[in-house]
A and B are shown apart, each in its own frame.
Chain A
């Protein structure tokens, strides 16, 4: 009898997981790691550190920091309309955490990005959640939260201009940039 029950339980679990697997979307192509691979859009703020104030504006350009991509920190990708971390992303984040623990002086800004489908505003929120998910995981791996800040660019800074499944998958990402 007992064997039967355990068998039933395991069958239920099996059925449920197969159900979940069927519902889940196909994982995106593995996160591209080489920085030179994708053409970065010309609007990249990090390449324009000398932002000037507008005439009569109360702003100043001081305090604008320059964020740079660091070799040891690799970007992660997300599924469509999701901010949960994929297994592939977790692997990358573990590597990133290791790098941050080795280089304890480095502070990082996590950028959340989306593909260009969907509303701009909604994607800003989604991008921020992606960055936050990455941040939480890094913290859980022992990186100090004070070294990690967030910014969402929504769909404003696509990695690639391609408008197809592959391009979208590359653009749904979180990037890790060191603050100098």
Chain B
């Protein structure tokens, strides 16, 4: 069919070619993933420590794979250059990598002296035979993963202009101690640390724009109160402990304000409060349930859940004028909205047929797309700070666990142990 089309087109164009230059249209790339060769990092001096090389490789592989940007060349097909140290473009035999069809090449070295670890990492453009990015990392042997994540961030920066989110952290709620407590982990699920010891119920964390502070709700004082916690010092303070609910606190991306749902007057309404809990503004005034706000990146709007028209739907409100608009028109149960840090889309969970799945929609209510298709419940979507990924909770593997996927719903993978009963993830900003 296609051939016939081409022949016809050619037949039509043939008389023209005599005079004008031929035009060829290529309307899609032959490959939607860039071929990349990721070599194992080599020891420079001192003994080879296979675990270090393996860990670097594992982290880079996982991070870069999640981006969906790359197709990895099979390491089994690597030729001699993979076993040669080559930190400069003049030392790399690019012809070998061209032969394997790789457009990009990651090489690097490590050296461990005592506990001091030095990693040199390079990204080469094979076709143009040049260095695209080079980084040297100094640290301790325990920093291997940190360094590898950092280089993955750097690779994204050099290829896309925007740095990756892999060096950041994900806060979440987990019940693995028997109580819901606040936890923190690397974005690939490694090194989980428990942050709270409330032995009560801790809910719904959110990072401050500077990243080193969290807000959450805890029942530790027998009321769902809003707290603020500094991650490094561990200092904790009550922000709002008004009668009733003090839940779903969200730091404004700009300005020192928190959007929160309070029921102090008997009905759930959304308020803006200061970091010390003083009420700045009441944003909703409706008999219905208004809950679960999420900020636009310019702090000018909030998206929230309201059942003012019967079923829970998403609405947006202008923070300055109070003008409220309905966002979702489909479905009967749309909840937990999260406004993309890019500002263009809002992710949310919809319950349909007794199950939750994730969707995203443009901020004007158009172009709704379904992102997950079961099994199980997919809930609590939150964006990575670069808007590339969504982190969420799913019980597809049994109990709730934290998952991550690309913003278009592809590449989903589980980050936490399936038995840990983890939910409500939040991705920190730059650390």
Contact = CB atoms under 8 A, between A and B. Distances in A.
A53 B291 CA distance: 29
Interface in A93-140: 117-122, 124-126, 128-129, 132
A156 B245 CA distance: 14
Contacts of B349: 119
B216 to A, nearest CB: 12
A152 interface: yes
B220 A125 contact: no
A52 interface: yes
A119 B201 contact: no
* Dominant secondary structure at the B interface: loop
Interface string B154-182: 00000000000000000000010011100
20 contacts: A43-B175, A45-B200, A54-B236, A55-B234, A56-B234, A56-B235, A57-B234, A117-B354, A119-B292, A119-B312, A119-B333, A120-B424, A122-B305, A124-B291, A128-B245, A128-B263, A132-B266, A153-B219, A156-B201, A156-B203
A64 B336 contact: no
A51 B292 contact: no
A124 B292 CA distance: 11
A42 interface: yes
Given A45-B222, A118-B351, A122-B305, A52 B199 contact: yes
Contacts of B234: 54-57
Contact size range, B:
35 or more
Given A43-B201, A51-B200, A54-B198, A121 B237 contact: no
Interface string B136-170: 00000000000000000000000000000000000
Interface of A: 42-43, 45, 48, 51-52, 54-59, 63-65, 67, 117-122, 124-126, 128-129, 132, 149-153, 156-157
Contacts of A117: 351, 354
B268 interface: yes
Contacts of A42: 178
Contacts, number: 113
Contacts of A52: 197, 199
Given A58-B235, A65-B222, A119-B312, A48 B289 contact: no
B92 interface: no
B268 A128 contact: yes
A58 B245 contact: no
A152 B200 contact: no
Given A54-B196, A121-B305, A150-B244, 20 more contacts: A42-B178, A43-B179, A43-B201, A52-B197, A54-B236, A55-B234, A56-B235, A57-B236, A58-B237, A63-B221, A118-B335, A119-B312, A119-B336, A119-B349, A120-B204, A121-B248, A121-B336, A122-B292, A132-B266, A156-B180
Contact of A125 (B200, B289, B333, B336): B289
Contacts of A63: 221
Interface of B: 175, 178-180, 196-201, 203-204, 219-224, 233-238, 243-245, 247-248, 261, 263, 266, 268, 289, 291-292, 305, 307, 312, 333, 335-336, 349, 351, 354, 379, 423-424
A168 B118 CA distance: 56
Nearest to A150: B244
B354 A48 contact: no
A126 to B, nearest CB: 7
B222 A119 contact: no
A58 B219 CA distance: 15
Contacts of A48: 199-200
B77 to A, nearest CB: 49
Nearest to B177: A43
Nearest to B233: A56
Contacts of A132: 266
A153 to B, nearest CB: 7
A125 B268 contact: yes
B235 A121 contact: no
Nearest to A156: B201
Contacts of A151: 222-224
Nearest to A83: B289
Given A54-B198, A58-B238, A121 B204 contact: yes
Among A58, A128, A129, A150: residue with most chain B CB under 10 A: A128
10 nearest A-B pairs in the assembled complex, by CB-CB distance: A119-B335, A57-B236, A125-B268, A125-B289, A121-B292, A156-B201, A56-B234, A56-B235, A121-B248, A121-B291
Nearest to B263: A128
Contact of B335 (A59, A121, A149): A121
A43 B180 contact: yes
Contacts of B238: 58-59
Nearest to B355: A117
A172 B336 CA distance: 21
Contacts of A156: 180, 201, 203, 219
